[in-house]
């Protein structure tokens, strides 16, 4: 052995240093799933259609228009854009519960900002929606970049948004970690070549088993997230 390595072998690379964090928004930083489910439920019921938990689960973590496209054939005479606008309108209607910050979100964001860790939001939602929700965790000014549904041609699980977020922060995907709450988001991060922390705020641990680390919320997450600092 030479320098602790088998003779003739190359030195092993040191563990990757995580340099940036990408955050999903709905369900990851802000609890909104209860609101979204209520709005989608009203949309389907307003058109005389039956809706259940299995159907609603197909919308989580995806761009609303793309999720609706899977069901638009059930709405004769309506387009995806018309249905999406109707659903968004329900979000501002009476009886829709308010959003709230995921436990630990604001503290983690402010800690990373203080430590100089560049951050981006990569959300399947609209920019106006994202900017308003981020006020609940310290404001959009905490982030160096924001990638929304308007900025991509393909939503999660496609990696386009994650790759755009890394490019905007000037980091290689292998040096960034994504925080996601849905299988579509985990798949997008992995397809981009990123490490991923999954939050069980909207899905079970089993649903997020593909993530590198699974946590209940953001209260115990440090930097770098353990054990992600050991990923090469």
Per-residue confidence (pLDDT) for residue 193, from 0 to 100: 96
Nearest by Cα to 42 from 95, 87, 97, 88: 87
Q: 152 and 164 in contact (C-beta within 8 Å)?
A: yes
What's the pLDDT tens digit per position in 48-86? 999 998 888 888 777 788 889 999 999 999 999 999 999
Q: Catalytic site residue 217? A: no
pLDDT-derived band of residue 117, with 50, 70 and 90 as boundaries?
Answer: very high
What is the reported pTM? 0.77
Q: What percent of the chain has pLDDT over 70?
A: 91
Catalytic residue among 26, 158, 181, 207: 26
Per-residue confidence (pLDDT) for residue 57, from 0 to 100: 83
Q: Is the pLDDT of residue 2 over 60?
A: no
Higher pLDDT, 57 or 135: 135
Q: 213 and 199 in contact (C-beta within 8 Å)?
A: no
Per-residue confidence (pLDDT) for residue 14, from 0 to 100: 36
Lowest mean pLDDT across 4-13, 77-86, 204-213: 4-13
Q: Is the pLDDT of residue 17 over 70?
A: yes
Per-residue confidence (pLDDT) for residue 16, from 0 to 100: 53
Mean pLDDT of 138-158: 95
Mean pLDDT of 192-217: 95
Location of structure tokens 């308003």: 132
Lowest mean pLDDT across 24-33, 50-59, 134-143, 176-185: 50-59
Per-residue confidence (pLDDT) for residue 164, from 0 to 100: 98
Q: Is the pLDDT of residue 20 over 80?
A: yes
Per-residue confidence (pLDDT) for residue 4, from 0 to 100: 33
Mean pLDDT of 109-120: 97
Catalytic residue among 24, 158, 181, 212: 24
Q: Is the dihedral of CA 86, 89, 94, 100 positive or negative?
A: positive
Give me the phi and psi of 178, to 5 degrees please.
-105, 145
Mean pLDDT, the chain, rounded, equals 88
Nearest by Cα to 188 from 129, 120, 124: 124
Strands (E), the chain: 20-23, 30-31, 100-101, 119-122, 145-147, 176-180, 195-199, 213-215
CA distances from 57 to 20, 60, 129, 207 (A): 29, 5, 20, 11
Per-residue confidence (pLDDT) for residue 159, from 0 to 100: 97
Q: Catalytic site residue 181? A: no
């Amino acid at each position: 052995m030479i320098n602790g390595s088998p003779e003739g072998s190359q030195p092993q690379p040191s563990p990757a240093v995580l340099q940036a964090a990408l955050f999903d928004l709905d369900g990851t930083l802000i609890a909104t799933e209860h609101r979204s489910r209520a709005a989608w439920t009203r949309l389907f019921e307003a058109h005389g259609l039956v809706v259940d938990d299995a159907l609603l689960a197909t919308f989580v973590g995806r761009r609303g228009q793309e999720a609706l496209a899977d069901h638009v054939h059930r709405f004769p005479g309506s387009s995806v854009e018309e249905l999406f606008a109707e659903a968004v309108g329900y979000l501002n209607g009476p009886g829709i519960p308010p959003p709230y910050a995921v436990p630990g979100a604001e503290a983690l964001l402010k800690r990373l900002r203080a430590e100089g860790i560049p951050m981006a939001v990569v959300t399947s939602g609209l920019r106006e929606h994202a900017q308003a929700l981020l006020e609940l965790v310290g404001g959009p000014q905490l982030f160096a970049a924001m990638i929304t549904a308007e900025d991509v041609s393909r939503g999660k699980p496609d990696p386009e948004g994650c790759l755009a977020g890394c490019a905007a922060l000037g980091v290689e995907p292998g040096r960034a970690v994504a925080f996601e709450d849905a299988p579509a988001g985990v798949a997008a991060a992995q397809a981009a070549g990123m490490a991923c922390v999954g939050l069980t705020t909207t899905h079970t641990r089993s649903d997020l088993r593909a993530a590198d680390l699974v946590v209940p919320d953001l209260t115990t997450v440090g930097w770098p997230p353990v054990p992600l600092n050991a990923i090469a």
